[in-house]
Amino acid sequence: MRALQLVEDRRLEQVDIAPPSPPGLGEVTLRIKAVALNHIDVWGWRGMAFAKRKMPLVIGAEASGEIDEVGPGVTGLTPGQLVSIYGARTCGLCRPCREGRDNLCEHVSGVHGFHLDGFAQEKINLPARLLVPAPPGVDAVGAAVAPVTFGTVEHMLFDNARLEPGETILVHAGGSGIGSAAIQLAKKMGCTVITTVGSNDKIEKAKALGADHVINYREDRFEGVVRKLTKKKGVDVVFEHVGKDTWAGSMFSLKRGGRLVTCGSTSGVSTEINLMMLFQQQLKLLGSFGCRMENMANAMQKMAAGLVKPIIDTEVDFASIDTALKRMEGRDVFGKIILRID
Ligand SMILES: [Zn+2]
């Protein structure tokens, strides 16, 4: 069967590998349908000085699949069913796992597509407990963006930042996969949404998703515009994932007692923090990574109800994956890039 392997930094190869053996106890064999690309794939592909990883490695951290075969002891899943796949291999035994908070697993073996083989392959065996069935009305693409894109954003906004209706939120990079999800989720609950984009052609697209104000960060200093829009008060919540380039401005954009929630650092992992601003303004800095199983189910319920939809930039096949990753690296995308396996 076909798989897409990273063999060295910036070198991907389509390879033939042996299909999985029949599913073991508590496992299912999945036929992968769609893989959604994320910045973690870009980090992995371009290589990172601070993380040595095993190669070759099958890429793909976020995907949907169809149940092909059910192993012994598995209940509630049947062949042909569409499921969304949790992105990390958690233990299932520790207290956080038993409570469905797998992103706090105490014995996690790694993230698929990064530490462990990922989902860019035709079939894979996985523990049934890491699969969330897609409700009617959600297709393979919707189920593919539930774990890392929508699940992460649900966890950031509702579990961590505890966003409330009527609040104002600044969403960085509204054209990114998680940015486009955050705009929709925040707007649908009745928040005022300010977002940033890197080019003027993305302004109308961001407004169409529900953004009330769109700032081109290459033309204006976003923190200045945010202060002006909020009459110098600042926003209740900043949705961060850019890191180094935006961190100081993000803190400056918050109102007293405001919350900054972050799940990434696409522009660099280190930055300085103005501690006086942190304590005097009583800011709350919240780190977020991955999601709870329930976040995936909630995201797909909202898709099924028509409240939110996955924003798809392009669908690609194995042959165009390099171009896709380069476009993501250059931030030349609006929404998600989907790799079709089926
Ligand atoms: Zn665990």
Q: Tens of pLDDT along 137-182?
A: 999 999 999 999 999 999 999 999 999 999 999 999 999 999 999 9
Q: Tell me if the domain spanning 151-287 has CATH number 3.40.50.300.
A: no
Ligand 1 centre to CA of 292 (Å) is: 12
* pLDDT class of 53 with cuts at 50, 70, 90: confident
Which pLDDT tens digit goes with each residue over 62-98?
A: 999 999 999 999 999 999 999 999 999 999 999 999 9
Ligand 1 centre to CA of 6 (Å) is: 28
Which pLDDT tens digit goes with each residue over 273-291?
A: 999 999 999 999 999 999 9
Provide the whole-model pTM. 0.94
**Letter for the amino acid at 17?**
I
Record the tokens describing residue 2, joined without a space.
Answer: 């076909």
The per-residue pLDDT for 217 is 94
The per-residue pLDDT for 49 is 61
The per-residue pLDDT for 39 is 86
Average pLDDT, the chain: 95
Ligand 1 centre to CA of 341 (Å) is: 29
Ligand 1 centre to CA of 160 (Å) is: 20
Q: Phi/psi of residue 338, each to 5°?
A: -110, 130
Q: What is the mean pLDDT of residues 183-203?
A: 97
Ligand 1 centre to CA of 90 (Å) is: 5
Cis peptide bond prior to 22, omega within 30° of 0: no
The per-residue pLDDT for 275 is 97
Write the CA distances from 109 to 85, 88, 93, 112, 115, integer angstroms: 16, 8, 13, 9, 8
Range 2-145+310-340: architecture per CATH: Alpha-Beta Complex (3.90)
Residue 258 has pLDDT above 90, yes or no: yes
Residue 125 has pLDDT above 70, yes or no: yes
Which pLDDT tens digit goes with each residue over 98-119?
A: 999 999 999 999 999 999 999 9
**Rounded to an integer, what distance in angstroms lies between the CA atom of residue 328 and that of residue 41?**
10
* pLDDT class of 50 with cuts at 50, 70, 90: low
* pLDDT class of 51 with cuts at 50, 70, 90: low
Ligand 1 centre to CA of 297 (Å) is: 19
Q: What is the mean pLDDT of residues 311-322?
A: 93
**Rounded to an integer, what distance in angstroms lies between the CA atom of residue 121 and that of residue 340?**
10
Residue holding tokens 């995936």?
296
What does the domain layout of the chain look like in residue ranges?
2-145+310-340, 151-287
CB 30 within 8 A of CB 83: yes
Ligand 1 centre to CA of 179 (Å) is: 29
One fold for 2-145+310-340 and 151-287: yes
Annotate 263-296 with b (16+ C-beta within 10 A) or e (fewer). bbbbeeeeeeeeeeeeeebebbbbebebbbbbbb
**Rounded to an integer, what distance in angstroms lies between the CA atom of residue 144 and that of residue 37?**
10
Ligand 1 centre to CA of 105 (Å) is: 4
Q: Phi/psi of residue 37, each to 5°?
A: -85, 145
Ligand 1 centre to CA of 143 (Å) is: 23
State percent of the chain over pLDDT 90.
Answer: 90
